[in-house]
Chains A and B, each alone.
Chain A
Amino acid sequence: MTSPSQTAEAFEEVAPGDIEQALERQRALGENGGGAVSRASVANLVVVTANRAAGQRALAAVEELGSRAPSRCVVLIAEPPEGRQGVRSWARVVNRRPASGPEVVWEEVVVQTNVHPRHLTAVVLPLLLPELPVFTWWEGTPPFGQEVFDELTSVTDRLIIDSAAFVDPVADLRRLAAVVGVLEPAVTDCAWGRLTPWRELLAAPFGGPQLRPALDRVRWLRVDAVEPTAGQELLGWFASRLGWELASVRQAGDELAADYRTPDGTCQARVVAGIGSSNLTRVHLEMETGDGPASVRVEAPPGHLVATVEVPGQPTGRRKVGRDPSPSTGPAGLGAELQLFGRDRVFEDALAQAAALVPE
């Protein structure tokens, strides 16, 4: 078995109108001149960045996706429309041969432009592969409500953001929730995607008849969050899934305290800012059962997750499971977001509840 290898033509600077030809030429060269590579294309990814440095980081993140890289990635460096307006573009084909299995080929186009926002779709649209869905990853905080945002989301099927990278995560979460309700494309947050292992472990103990009734009687919940939006979205998830109604919320230093009315009583919830190498460090919930209090706890020591379940009358159940490895660049979870199509209703409901925690 050979070790994986990756070859790429160098980026070629070409006029936007010549990009397709340049890519075709590079594809042919990639096959040693043997003819056109047959492509099984799946998706376009447009990455919207503010400057070259961000654009290069985005490229590195896409390349790290390897086999999950979209068929064509367009990195748009959208600079403010100052001075003389123009467009520069570069293109290349990347061939990746993994240790086993067939080759993967994807195409990268970088466009640096300071045209007026209303012309951006005209710049981007011709560069997209036809008939394939368009994912748009907006690096940093999207300028919600501004023309550039409206323009580019109008040609998008799915908008990917990472609320952990928002300039003002908490306030911007509210703005995000406001647009999710009205935007045409589906919206997904990498921070929400990174919560999936936590949600799975928190849901698992309630799959059996023993603890399921206790889910209706959660009395106390604490989330220790390194990423503030992750903490809020997780709390929003509990509230939306379990039918909780927010009664009061206050922020005191590092702690967000929220009290809920639940179908069967009340629940006190806390999101506490923490330090750590994971998006959350701990989630702890306590609930009432007929035999006394029970608890579920998930913690994140380095490299794995630990789920502990304590039920009256039974030995404590503790298990350690894997944690998805983080990429070295780009938002963790980007690859997973590119596998999903359609609206994520569970996320949207959780986001609405999370946004309610943010003062206006």
Chain B
Amino acid sequence: MVENPLAAGERVRAIPPPTAMVVFGGSGDLAHRKIVPALYNLELHRLLPQNFAFVGSSRSEYSDEEYRADMRKAVEEFSRTQPIQHQVWESFASRLHYIAGSSGDPGTYGRIGDLLDRFDREHGTDGNRLFYLSLIPKLFPDTIRGIGKAGLGGRGFDRGFSRVVVEKPFGHDLASARELQDLVTTVFPERDVFRIDHYLGKESVQNIIAFRFANGIFEPVWNHHFVDHVQVTVSESLGIEHRGNFYETAGAIRDIFQNHELQVLALIAMEPPASFEPEDVRNEKAKVLKALRRLEGDAVDSGVVRGQYGPGWIDGKEVVGYREEPDVHPDSAVETYVAAELRVDNWRWAGTPFYVRTGKRLPKRATEVVVQFKSAPHLPFGEAAQDGLEPNALVLRIQPDEGITMRIGAKVPGPSMEVRSVSMDFSYGTSFSDDLPDAYERLLLDVMLGDPTLFPRWDEVEQAWQAVQPILDRWAEAPAPEFPNYEAGSWGPKAADELIGRGRPGRRWRRP
């Protein structure tokens, strides 16, 4: 199709083509908290296509009106813009529909198909379809098959584009991830599969690429010659909230480590892409994940620490331990904390450890990357004069306080030459602009635009599982760990400090 000349120029933002969206799990938590509020904000900011319609589907029974009322409450609670604009909401809600059904019932897909045809006729959605699987993983197979069998989308569908969005985790382990991939790609070609890792939709994560590749001065030192080690931390002060059922089957390694953290690691470690074309970026990330050294057997025991929080205090309130949380087995061996020493076996990073940790019920919420540089080769100031001096470090703060911290040495004002470390904080100015889209808005827009840059490709996911599977295998055959082994409100098990300290004297986790 010939380009739209009215859409030219940097001020007019890319508007997706007409789209009909189906959310399986449409009455679920994610639809309430993220999906529909994101769509509302896209509409508010004029980013949805002129021709757009939506159907949510779940087992709950709702009429269209009841569903709209329910979603209005959700948007009033979870929208990043407040208050809700009544006129815009009414106009948007008129295009929200609901179909009750179950994933195993072919009739559900027939009814959805009829509604999608109606959308094409009444809303001009042009046959373009987006299927969002906001479901527990065990319902994926029936749903994917249902879409394919009913001819709603996928291979052979030629009325418009058809894309499927799958929430992480993609699979439970390597085998199930491969099974799921086989199933999904039976119906949808890989180019139409969008796996959501919402971290990649965050401005501050995208800033990692901008920071690395817009500045010529960092790349020459971004390697094993100058970097002592890298830390990736995803720390949460929250517990598992009401996700006990899910968390008992996942643990920290599947919830955060295998996806968010390894994606961030890939962005930090990747080679500069030749362009920002999706495949150029994804190719470089996949190479990093392939180069991750697989830990086997004893190497897991010495290189990976797992933990589970016990009772403690967070934000001035007493909290229970993991085993006392609702829907958690009183003898649960599920980890709420993981720390690992990883290696990227390539020229750039040979010999440089990547320390990656994540945990629940840690003292504060923080996601950051620390690039710890080696000491200057020779410090001429004399021992006493450089007592407070530490090697340079660059901290990329991803949340909550987006920005960069650089630790440098500076002279202490005074008559003698004494040097100390000084932390300089640069905040981008993005952290408090209320006009920034949230990650789901960005990602949903990209799916509609067909831009897969911010979505992990299958080979990235597979490589990440290949790195994690040996850890899961080792844990499965090891004796049950002695849990809990850290107090809620502390920075995790002691063994994690020993893990990082072992590599070189003086190495320690940065306190966010």
Q: Residues on A close to B: CB < 8 A?
A: 38, 40, 42, 67-68, 98-102, 104, 193, 196-197, 199-210, 212, 215, 237-238, 241-242, 301, 303-307, 309, 311, 314-315, 317-322, 340, 344-347
Contact yes or no, B429 A320, CB < 8 A: no
Contact yes or no, A207 B46, CB < 8 A: no
Contact yes or no, B43 A321, CB < 8 A: yes
Q: Which residues of B contact A242 (CB under 8 A)?
A: 5-6
Contact yes or no, B12 A212, CB < 8 A: no
Contact yes or no, B45 A322, CB < 8 A: yes
B126 interface contact, C-beta 8 A:
yes
Shortest CB distance A216–B (Å)? 9
Contact yes or no, A346 B431, CB < 8 A: no
Contact yes or no, A317 B124, CB < 8 A: yes
Closest partner residue, chain B, to A345 (CB atom): B9
B16 interface contact, C-beta 8 A:
yes
Closest partner residue, chain A, to B7 (CB atom): A203
Contact yes or no, B433 A241, CB < 8 A: no
B90 interface contact, C-beta 8 A:
yes
Contact yes or no, A102 B432, CB < 8 A: yes
Expressed in whole angstroms, the Cα–Cα distance for A314 and B118 within the complex equals 11
Question: Using a CB-CB cutoff of 8 Å, which residues 379-412 of chain B contact chain A?
Answer: 400-401, 403
Q: Which residues of A contact B275 (CB under 8 A)?
A: none
Contact yes or no, A200 B43, CB < 8 A: no
Contact yes or no, A102 B431, CB < 8 A: yes
Contact yes or no, B432 A207, CB < 8 A: no
Contact yes or no, B15 A314, CB < 8 A: no
Closest partner residue, chain A, to B433 (CB atom): A67
Can you sample 23 A-B contacts with CB below 8 Å? Answer: A38-B426, A40-B426, A40-B428, A104-B429, A200-B13, A202-B6, A203-B4, A205-B51, A206-B6, A207-B4, A208-B18, A208-B124, A303-B85, A309-B124, A311-B124, A314-B121, A314-B122, A315-B122, A320-B87, A322-B43, A345-B9, A346-B8, A347-B9
Expressed in whole angstroms, the Cα–Cα distance for A101 and B403 within the complex equals 10
9 tightest CB-CB pairs across the interface, nearest first?
A101-B432, A346-B9, A203-B6, A320-B91, A101-B431, A322-B44, A98-B432, A40-B426, A102-B427
Expressed in whole angstroms, the Cα–Cα distance for A202 and B15 within the complex equals 11
Q: Which residues of A contact B11 (CB under 8 A)?
A: 193, 196, 199, 340, 344, 346
Contact yes or no, B15 A102, CB < 8 A: no
Expressed in whole angstroms, the Cα–Cα distance for A100 and B11 within the complex equals 28
Contact yes or no, A321 B44, CB < 8 A: yes
B50 interface contact, C-beta 8 A:
yes
Contact yes or no, B44 A317, CB < 8 A: no
Known: A102-B403, A207-B15, A309-B50. A319 touches B43 (CB 8 A): yes
Closest partner residue, chain A, to B121 (CB atom): A314
Contact yes or no, A319 B9, CB < 8 A: no
Q: Residues on B close to A: CB < 8 A?
A: 1-2, 4-13, 15-18, 43-46, 49-51, 85, 87-88, 90-92, 95, 121-124, 126, 400-401, 403, 424-429, 431-433
Expressed in whole angstroms, the Cα–Cα distance for A29 and B146 within the complex equals 66
Shortest CB distance B204–A (Å)? 12
Contact yes or no, B12 A199, CB < 8 A: yes
Contact yes or no, A319 B17, CB < 8 A: no
Contact yes or no, B91 A101, CB < 8 A: no
Known: A208-B17, A309-B124. 7 other contacts (CB 8 A): A196-B11, A203-B6, A207-B17, A210-B124, A241-B5, A317-B51, A320-B87
Contact yes or no, A102 B43, CB < 8 A: no
Expressed in whole angstroms, the Cα–Cα distance for A319 and B4 within the complex equals 21
Contact yes or no, B6 A322, CB < 8 A: no
| Interface SS of chain B | loop
Q: Which of A208, A304, A347 contacts B126 (CB 8 A)?
A: A208
Contact yes or no, A42 B429, CB < 8 A: yes
Contact yes or no, B124 A67, CB < 8 A: no
Expressed in whole angstroms, the Cα–Cα distance for A1 and B12 within the complex equals 35
Closest partner residue, chain B, to A201 (CB atom): B46
Closest partner residue, chain B, to A350 (CB atom): B9
Known: A203-B15, A303-B85. A197 touches B46 (CB 8 A): yes
Contact yes or no, A38 B429, CB < 8 A: no
Expressed in whole angstroms, the Cα–Cα distance for A202 and B433 within the complex equals 27
Q: Which residues of A contact B45 (CB under 8 A)?
A: 321-322
Q: Which residues of B contact A101 (CB under 8 A)?
A: 401, 427, 431-432
Contact yes or no, A322 B4, CB < 8 A: no
Expressed in whole angstroms, the Cα–Cα distance for A208 and B448 within the complex equals 13
Contact yes or no, A317 B12, CB < 8 A: no
Expressed in whole angstroms, the Cα–Cα distance for A100 and B433 within the complex equals 10
Closest partner residue, chain A, to B88 (CB atom): A320
Contact yes or no, B431 A320, CB < 8 A: no
Q: Which residues of B contact A237 (CB under 8 A)?
A: 6
Q: Which of B8, B50, B400, B432 contacts A319 (CB 8 A)?
A: B50
Shortest CB distance A183–B (Å)? 19
Q: Which of B4, B10, B13, B92 contacts A206 (CB 8 A)?
A: B4
Contact yes or no, B13 A208, CB < 8 A: no
Expressed in whole angstroms, the Cα–Cα distance for A208 and B15 within the complex equals 10
Q: Which of B2, B49, B91, B121 contacts A204 (CB 8 A)?
A: B49
Q: Which residues of B contact A321 (CB under 8 A)?
A: 43-46, 88, 91
Shortest CB distance A96–B (Å)? 9
Known: A208-B51, A208-B124, A210-B124. A320 touches B6 (CB 8 A): no
Shortest CB distance A319–B (Å)? 5
Expressed in whole angstroms, the Cα–Cα distance for A327 and B246 within the complex equals 46
Expressed in whole angstroms, the Cα–Cα distance for A301 and B90 within the complex equals 15
Shortest CB distance B324–A (Å)? 29
Q: Which residues of B contact A38 (CB under 8 A)?
A: 424-426
Contact yes or no, A205 B427, CB < 8 A: no
Q: Which residues of B contact A345 (CB under 8 A)?
A: 9
Contact yes or no, B46 A322, CB < 8 A: yes
Contact yes or no, A212 B17, CB < 8 A: no
Contact yes or no, B6 A215, CB < 8 A: yes
Contact yes or no, A68 B433, CB < 8 A: yes
Expressed in whole angstroms, the Cα–Cα distance for A165 and B5 within the complex equals 29
Shortest CB distance A306–B (Å)? 8
Expressed in whole angstroms, the Cα–Cα distance for A206 and B428 within the complex equals 36
Q: Which residues of A contact B87 (CB under 8 A)?
A: 301, 303-304, 320
Contact yes or no, B432 A205, CB < 8 A: no
Q: Which residues of B contact A193 (CB under 8 A)?
A: 11
Q: Which residues of B contact A317 (CB under 8 A)?
A: 50-51, 123-124
Q: Which of A100, A200, A206, A319 contacts B91 (CB 8 A)?
A: A319
Contact yes or no, A205 B429, CB < 8 A: no
Q: Which residues of A contact B6 (CB under 8 A)?
A: 199, 202-203, 206, 215, 237-238, 241-242
Shortest CB distance A316–B (Å)? 10
Expressed in whole angstroms, the Cα–Cα distance for A318 and B91 within the complex equals 8
Q: Which residues of B contact A210 (CB under 8 A)?
A: 18, 124, 126
Contact yes or no, B2 A212, CB < 8 A: yes
Expressed in whole angstroms, the Cα–Cα distance for A301 and B91 within the complex equals 14
Q: Which residues of A contact B44 (CB under 8 A)?
A: 321-322
Question: Most chain-A CB neighbours within 10 Å: which of B15, B16, B92, B400?
Answer: B15
Expressed in whole angstroms, the Cα–Cα distance for A242 and B46 within the complex equals 23
